[in-house]
Amino acid sequence: MIFCAVLAVGAPYTRNILPSSLLDGEFLPFGVILGLLFLVGVVNPIARVLTRYSLFTPQELALLLIMGLTTTAVSTDGLAAFLIAIIAAPFYYASPENRWGDFILEHIPSWLAPSNAAGDMGTFFTGLPPGESIPWSVWIIPILWWLSLFAATFFVCACLVVILRKQWTEHERLTFPLMQTPLAMVAAPKQGALWPPMFRSRLFLIGFLVPFFIVTWNIGTYFSPAFPEIRTDFGWLLIARHFPAIRALIIFPIIGFLYFVNLDVLFSVLFFYLLGIIQVGVYNRVGFRLGRADIYCSGYPSMGWQGFGAMTAMVLWGLWMARSHIRRVFRQGFLRSRQSGEASDSDELLSYRTAFLGMVLGWLYILFWLRSAGMEIRVGAVFIFAAYIIFLGLNRIVIQCGIVFCRAPLTAQSFTLYTLGSATIPAAGMVSIGLTYSWIHTVFFFMPVVAHATRLADLLRIKGRHVRVALCLALLVAVPTTLTYHLWAGYTYGAQNFDGWAFRRGCTIPYESIVSKMANPFRTDWARIGFFAIGAVAFLIVTQLHYRVPWWPLHPIGMTIASTHPTRMIAFSLFIAWLAKWVIVKAGGHREYERFKPLFLGLVLGYFTGLTISLLVDIFFFGPGMGHRVYSL
C-alpha cells in the first residue's frame, strides 16, 4: 500500500511538475518495474545475506506487481488527470471567442462539474494567492459521481475478464508476452544465489549494459549541450512525396518486450503498418479526403475508421469463437452444473454468477448515468458499445501483441457522433459526449491489468481472493491519493503550468470539438461507415485465411492498430525485434530462442535502470520544470 501511495504521487509529479520519464502511462510502466527491480535486486539479496531467506516470495512480488499496475492505471491519464482537467476547464476557459457560453455551459449538470462562482477553477489553473486555502468542498460532489461511473466501468471489465479468462488462456492459448519480464524477475533464486536465474546469464549482462550505458551516457547532455550524445532517434525517413514518413526511433524496452511475441503477430503489425502508409500515400496522390481527423483518433480518418472496423470485427469474432465457453460459464454460474473435467469458479476473481450479474447491472448503471448526464438512451447505447469494443480490443491486443504503447484507432465519441449524426443529438447529449473525454478516449488501462493479474495468479498459483484483495486495496489507496495530489498541486503550482497534456490542450480540445460539431451539424457520415465496413470485412477475410490456409503468413490483429500514433512511433523498434527473432529462430529453432531470452530481458531492465539514474539526476540536480523526458511517446 505504501508502494501504491508512492506511485500515486510520483506518477503525476514526474509527468506534470518535474517533468521526467513517466512512471506510468502504458501497459507495463517504468514505475512498476522500478519498484519490482528494487525489491528483487536490492532488498531480497540483502535479506538472503543476513537471513538466508528472501524477504518477498515470488507470489508476494506478483501481488505487488498487480497493485502497482492497478495504481498506474488510474494515477494520471487513466483516470485522475483527464477527470480533473476536463471537469475544471469549461467555466474557466469559456470566452466570447470560443462560444462555450452559447453552446456548452448551460447544459452541464451541476453535479458533474465544480462551480466557478467564487473563482475556484481560476485559482486551480493559476495557483492560489498567498494565505488562501484549497476549496475542497466544490470538488466533492462531482468527483464522487464520476468515481461511481469509473467504479461501474472497472467492475464490468473485471466481470468480463472472469468470464473470458479461460477462453484466452486455455482454449486460444494467448501468450501474455508482457508478463515474461516480471515472471523472470520474481523467480526464486537457486540455492546459495542472491538473484533470480535470469540475472546470472552472460547474455543478460550484455543486454543490460548496452541500453544502460547509452541512457546514463546521455545524462551528460543535461548539463552541457556540447556533450556528445549517443543517438537512438534518427528522425523521419521519407519514402516518397505525399507518403507518411517512418520514424527511425530505437526504443530498447520495446525490442525486449516484443521478442516474446509470436513471429506472425509481429509480422502482421509491421505489414499492415506499411500497407497503411501505401494506402494513405495513394489517397494523398489522387486527392482523396474523408474530412478532418477527429481528436484522439488516427491522423488519417479513412485508416482510423477502417482500423476500428477491424477492431470491432476482432472483438465480435472473439466472442463468437468463445460462445461454447460462455455457455459453459453461464451454466456453472446459474445452473450449478459442471461436466466432468470442468474446473469450478472457486479460485476465480469473482464467481461466475457474480460476473454475469455484475456485467449486466454495471452496464445498466452506466446507461442510467449517461442518461442522467444528458444522453438519450439510443446515444448512450451506441456509446457504451463503442467504449467496450475499445476496452476488449485493447485488452486483446496487449495480451497477444505485448505492445506497451497502444491506442485505439478511433474514440467512442467519434464513432457515436458520426454514426448517429450530430444533427440528431440534442445539445445536452452533445455536451455530455464532450464531458466523457474525462472517462475514456482511445486508451484504457484497467482491463489489461485484471487480465494480467489473473494470468499471474494462474502461473504462480495465487488464490483468486488474494488477487481481488490486492486490486481493491490498490484502488482504495491510489484513487484518493492521486486525486488529492492533483488538486493540491493544481492550487499550489497552477495547473496550467503543468507539463502534462491533460492540463494543457487536453482539457480544451474536447469542448472545441463539440462546439464545432454543434455549430456545423451533420447527419450520419456514410463514407466513414463505409470504411468501417471495409475494415470489418477485410479483418474477417484475413481471419478465415489465417485459420484455414496453413501457409498464410498474416495474422489479422495487425489491422486494428496499424494507423495509430503509437504504432508509428514504435514501428522501427518493432522491425528490429521481428528481424532479430526471425534470425534467431531460423538459425537455431526453439532452443536458440530460449537461449537468447536473457539478452532481451536485459534490454528492458538495463534501460529502466538507466532511467532510474536519469530520474534521480532530474530530482536532485534540476527540479520542477527542468527535468528531461527520455521514455515517452
Q: Are 427 and 518 in contact (CB under 8 A)?
A: yes
CA separation for the pair 526, 421 (Å, rounded): 10
Question: 58 in helix, strand or coil?
Answer: helix
**Cell 468515481 belongs to which residue?**
147
CA separation for the pair 178, 432 (Å, rounded): 36
Question: Which three three-digit cell numbers place residue 427?
Answer: 445539445
Element (H, E) at 538: helix 526-548
Q: Are 567 and 269 in contact (CB under 8 A)?
A: yes
pLDDT of residue 481: 98
Find all residues with CB under 8 Å of 144, minimum gap 6, and list them.
none
DSSP 237: E
pLDDT of residue 337: 67
Element (H, E) at 246: strand 246-249
pLDDT of residue 339: 65
pLDDT of residue 275: 96
Backbone angles phi, psi at 236, to 5 degrees: -105, 135
CA separation for the pair 588, 304 (Å, rounded): 39
Q: Are 281 and 243 in contact (CB under 8 A)?
A: yes
Burial (0-12, 13-18, 19+ Cβ within 10 Å), 248: middle
**Which ranges of 172-286 does DSSP label H, i.e. alpha helix?**
180-186, 202-218, 220-223, 252-258, 263-286
Question: 57 in helix, strand or coil?
Answer: coil
Question: Which three three-digit cell numbers place residue 152?
Answer: 461501474
Residue 277's CB is within 10 A of a number of other CB atoms, namely: 22
Residues recorded for the chain:
633
Question: 306 in helix, strand or coil?
Answer: helix
Residue 620's CB is within 10 A of a number of other CB atoms, namely: 8
Question: Which three three-digit cell numbers place residue 615?
Answer: 530520474
Closest CA to 171 of 328, 314, 311: 328
* Vertex 395: Cα angle to 393 and 399 (nearest 5): 125
- pTM for the full model? 0.96
Closest CA to 443 of 502, 400, 491: 502
Residue 547's CB is within 10 A of a number of other CB atoms, namely: 11
Q: Are 485 and 9 in contact (CB under 8 A)?
A: yes
Question: Which three three-digit cell numbers place residue 157?
Answer: 471489465
Q: Which amino acid is at 338?
A: R
CA separation for the pair 508, 195 (Å, rounded): 49
Angle between helices 427-435 and 509-519 (to 10 degrees): 160
pLDDT of residue 599: 97
Question: 532 in helix, strand or coil?
Answer: helix
Q: Which residues of 362-383 are buried (b: 16+ CB within 10 A; e: fewer)?
A: bbebbbebbbebbbbeebbbbb
Q: Are 415 and 385 in contact (CB under 8 A)?
A: no
pLDDT of residue 502: 95
Number of H helices, E strands in the chain: 26, 2
pLDDT of residue 341: 54
User: Cα 520 to the chain's mean position, in Å?
Assistant: 32
pLDDT of residue 340: 55
pLDDT of residue 343: 60
Q: Are 64 and 36 in contact (CB under 8 A)?
A: yes
pLDDT of residue 336: 73
Torsion over CA: 234, 240, 241, 247 (sign) = negative
Torsion over CA: 360, 363, 369, 375 (sign) = negative
pLDDT of residue 633: 80
Positions in the chain whose pLDDT score sits under 70: 337-343
| Euclidean distance between the first and the last CA atom of the chain, given in angstroms as a whole number | 29
Question: Which three three-digit cell numbers place residue 341?
Answer: 473435467
CA separation for the pair 277, 235 (Å, rounded): 17
Backbone angles phi, psi at 247, to 5 degrees: -85, 115
Render 189-221 in DSSP notation, one character per residue. PPTT-SS-GGGG-HHHHHHHHHHHHHHHHHTHH
* Vertex 422: Cα angle to 418 and 423 (nearest 5): 130
Burial (0-12, 13-18, 19+ Cβ within 10 Å), 34: buried
